[in-house]
Amino acid sequence: MSTNLHDRDFYAWTQQQAQLLKAGRVHEADFDHLIEELESMGASERRQLINRLAVLLAHLLKWHHQPTFRGRSWQLTMKEQRRQLERHLRDNPTLASRLPEFVADAYGDAVLRAARETGLEEGVFAESCPYTEAEILSVDFLPD
């Protein structure tokens, strides 16, 4: 019953599962789908962090490689991404231990984004992220 409900009406399934667990009727819960959804939630948090890092890193690269185009909009985007990254890491502190891995993943996306937005060739940008984690997250850091 709950498996079909999971496929037909996800919201109703979530409400049903919550009620079953609250009532202590654990044996009736749809554990296969619950496990799948929990794992998906964790992956979503990781993807969100990598995406925010990619946006921030792309702006840092643009700032560095296009000094004549520097403006308030880029600064505000970097400030916003840093605030959201700080909040995301505060809400999910375990992700901070994997930050080097996530920066490396995000940097490839950032290079593609920066190349697309600047018109510069991908090879203009460093092969690996030229910024430290502290610099990336620091509200005061802007590359020269």
The answer to the question of residue 144 being in a domain is: no
pLDDT for position 1: 46
pLDDT for position 2: 47
∠ CA 92-94-98, nearest 5°, is 115
Q: Which sign does the torsion angle of CA 95, 101, 102, 103 carry? A: positive
- Taking the C-alpha atoms of residue 55 and residue 81, their distance in angstroms, rounded to an integer, is 7
Report, as an integer, the average pLDDT of 101-126. Answer: 98
User: Residue 132 — very low, low, confident or very high, per pLDDT cuts 50/70/90?
Assistant: very high
Are 57 and 106 spatial neighbours (Cβ–Cβ below 8 Å)?
Answer: yes
Per-residue pLDDT for 3 more than 60?
Answer: no
For the chain, give the mean pLDDT: 95
The string of pLDDT tens digits covering residues 50-62 is: 999 999 999 999 9
pLDDT for position 4: 85
DSSP letters spanning 33-79 = HHHHHHHHHHHHHHHHHHHHHHHHHHHHHHHHH-GGG--HHHHHHHH
Per-residue pLDDT for 116 more than 80?
Answer: yes
The answer to the question of residue 30 being in a domain is: yes
Per-residue pLDDT for 9 more than 80?
Answer: yes
Give the range of the structural domain holding residue 126, as residue numbers without chain letter.
2-137
The answer to the question of residue 143 being in a domain is: no
pLDDT for position 94: 95
The answer to the question of residue 142 being in a domain is: no
pTM reported for the whole predicted model: 0.86
What is the domain count for the chain?
A: 1
pLDDT for position 136: 98
- Taking the C-alpha atoms of residue 141 and residue 54, their distance in angstroms, rounded to an integer, is 16
Residue with tokens 């697309």: 116
